[in-house]
Amino acid sequence: MARQNRDDLGSNLLCRLLQWFGKLGLVMGVMLRLGLTIVVGLFLVSTACGTQGLKSLPKAQRIFVIVCEGVELRDLEQMDEPITTLLRESAIGLLSGASAELAGGKGVLVTLGSGKRAKANERAKLGEWLSQRNVSVALHGNGFLKAILGEVRASPNPNRTPQVIFVSATKSQLPTVARELLVQLTEEACLWILVPNSSRTDWMNRRLTPILVFGKNVPSGLLTSTTTRYIGLVSSVDFAPTLLAQLSIPIPAEVTGRVMQIDTSVNDRLAYLHWLDERSVKPLQDLPALSFTIATFVVIAVALTALASAFSLLASRQGLSDLVSPAATFFVISGMSIPASLFLVAQLPHRSGVASAFQMLATVSLLGLLALLLAKKLSATPFPTSLKAAGLICAFSAIVALFGVPLYWATPLGHYPTSGWRYFGITNSGVGVVLAGTIFAWSLLALPKRFVSVWLLASPLLMGFSLWGANFGGALTLAIGFAAAWELIGNPKPSWGKVAALSLAASVLTLFALIVAESFVPADQQAHFGALLQRMRSVGGGALVEMVLRKLTLLWEFFVRTPLNFFALSVFVAFQTAAAKLVKQSNLFDQLKPTFDAVFIGSLAGLVLNDSGMEVVGMALVCFGGVFFLSLLETFRSSVRGDRSAVRASP
């Protein structure tokens, strides 16, 4: 009898194991099919449109590089010949990359000669790479040329004509120096004018700087690269690989920049570059007014929520509660739409940050009103109208954040072209919006599980794919958060062991699917995870170790740089703790506890997996705090009305 029981137990365990592997294989198959479909579609679009009108820079036997600090595009336009001719006949663009981590002007110089982001205390390797290929180099000017080249070895033959000549020039000297070098320009030579830093370097007013290359075989047009994927814009990491490519020197594996190309499709190039310069600085200029408006809106929403809750507890103030509570609900729901509104408002024409702030107020008010009106028509969910409206806002925000990739360009939650952190794809702020928006929308709107499963599988792949989100840390964040939600929300009797197992399995499957997907992407289009795979194939696991160490360093620097990060994380933990304690007093919090837990787990994963992980936490906190306040209002409102549906009965 005992032996039969042991046999039955073993058979049951084997059957469960086979069932689990069968489900795992089914999920993997679905993910691979979705991944391949996404890859093929985006690959066809990229190959059809990505290289249209682009030309390569010609090879050169001799290169002159004029380095001039503190000059902007408008300064070049006011100079005498030959600068006027060069602006008209050269390939020109704007240079980005003066981010805060570059520690000022010297960091940009080192980055130019390193082909990857570097700090001021590091040493560039461009001179070393040129010397290894017996390319003679000459420096004429002040000491900052050495910062770009690093180590420069003296030529064994002093009579040999240098192949690469770096010359420094001041703003007033630039026309004269350019004129002297143009006389020496032969058929197979070219001239670069490089401006590493603008005269305006403060955070709010920093500017992109001009970069141009001229030669008899160089077509006139706008410089671009796959680092930025934006016509007329190149990064400081692109200069070194472009110079090496012109000299037919192999690009070292440690270089992360891309070779520049020339776009010839724009007619009025200077007008376009002026627009690009102004558009790039717009999110920085709008930030003070937007930040003040958002802070004021949040303070009002919190104050109204506190007043409505207090009045609900006072029997003599129930009339005031009925008056304040709807206003608090409206402000909270509207406030939850702020992230999506920031993407939308940045696309509207405006001349000042104040005008942008008014546009944002109008947008969030309209979205809040529409959500409340639509929520009244939803009857499939057991939640009150206010929480249904919050679910609609969360769903809308997640859709905008995941599919509105073009909306990220030069927006407060998107790309800051002047800093050079990221030029395309989905930022960590977008990761937080997609994570929290998806999980709360699924729970509050009672979305069909089959529809949700497709979204949960496709979102991480889109997030990490080079031709879409290009955010590998974001892909793993979504995989972990969604796996936790699948168990906590989708399973009536969830298990924390299964949460851990599903999160690990989802991470591995996402990693595998992205490896397969990246194999279909052209090498020059691969970014983030795709670029990491390229470097690992070239230099081995050291590239992964270097990336992890750099991410951890950036994570710590970003976290400790602003005390607000500690405050935001403390508030998030306080909300999660309060939500867990309110389960005993409120049916609403009891119903939403799995949702809160899933968002909290995903947010913590985002904090660790992304170098600016506090952006993930901050955006998730918007949805988390909004749903928390609305649940609190509904709980107090139910107790005033005598409705026990949202309030726990006393034991």
In the chain, what are the domains? Answer: 57-267 (3.40.720.10), 277-641 (no CATH)
Residues in the chain: 651
Q: How far apart are the first and last CA of the chain?
A: 46
Residue 416 is predicted with a pLDDT of 86
Q: How many CB atoms lie within 10 A of CB 645?
A: 11
Report, as an integer, the average pLDDT of 491-501.
Answer: 91
**Where is average pLDDT lowest: 33-37, 350-354, 452-456?**
33-37
Residue 368 is predicted with a pLDDT of 96
In tens, the pLDDT along 547-558 reads 777 777 777 777
Return the higher-pLDDT residue of 193 and 382: 193
What is the C-alpha separation between 270 and 87, in angstroms, rounded?
Answer: 8
Burial class (CB in 10 A: 0-12, 13-18, 19+), 240: buried
**pLDDT at residue 536 is higher than 60:** yes
Q: Name the phi and psi angles at 55, rounded to 5.
A: -125, 150
Residue 203 is predicted with a pLDDT of 66
In tens, the pLDDT along 314-368 reads 654 566 667 888 999 999 999 999 999 999 998 888 788 899 999 999 999 999 9
What is the C-alpha separation between 647 and 29, in angstroms, rounded?
Answer: 44
pTM of the entire structure? Answer: 0.87
Residue 99 is predicted with a pLDDT of 52
**pLDDT at residue 645 is higher than 80:** no
In tens, the pLDDT along 417-445 reads 887 778 899 999 999 999 999 999 999 99
Return the higher-pLDDT residue of 648 and 369: 369
Strands 164-168 and 137-140: parallel
What is the C-alpha separation between 96 and 186, in angstroms, rounded?
Answer: 30
Share of the chain above pLDDT 70, in %: 85
Q: Name the phi and psi angles at 28, rounded to 5.
A: -60, -40
Q: Is the peptide bond before 594 cis (omega within 30 degrees of 0)?
A: no
Residue 155 is predicted with a pLDDT of 65
What is the C-alpha separation between 148 and 109, in angstroms, rounded?
Answer: 5
Highest average pLDDT, of 272-281, 415-424, 631-640, comes from 272-281
Residue 154: pLDDT band with limits 50, 70, 90: low
Share of the chain above pLDDT 90, in %: 58
Half-sphere exposure of 69 (CA within 13 A, CB side): 17
**pLDDT at residue 399 is higher than 80:** yes
What is the C-alpha separation between 634 and 646, in angstroms, rounded?
Answer: 7
Highest average pLDDT, of 40-49, 236-245, 490-499, comes from 236-245
**CA gyration radius, the chain:** 28
Residues 6 or more apart whose CB falls under 8 angstroms from that of 418 comprise 96, 98, 206, 207, 208, 280, 281, 284
What is the C-alpha separation between 62 and 534, in angstroms, rounded?
Answer: 30
Task: Look over the chain and give the mean of its residue pLDDT values, rounded to a whole number.
Answer: 85
For residues 222 and 188, the answer to whether their CB atoms sit within 8 Å is: no
Residue 190 is predicted with a pLDDT of 96
Residue 649: pLDDT band with limits 50, 70, 90: very low
What is the C-alpha separation between 198 and 207, in angstroms, rounded?
Answer: 6
In tens, the pLDDT along 43-93 reads 444 444 444 568 999 999 999 999 998 899 999 999 999 999 999 999 999
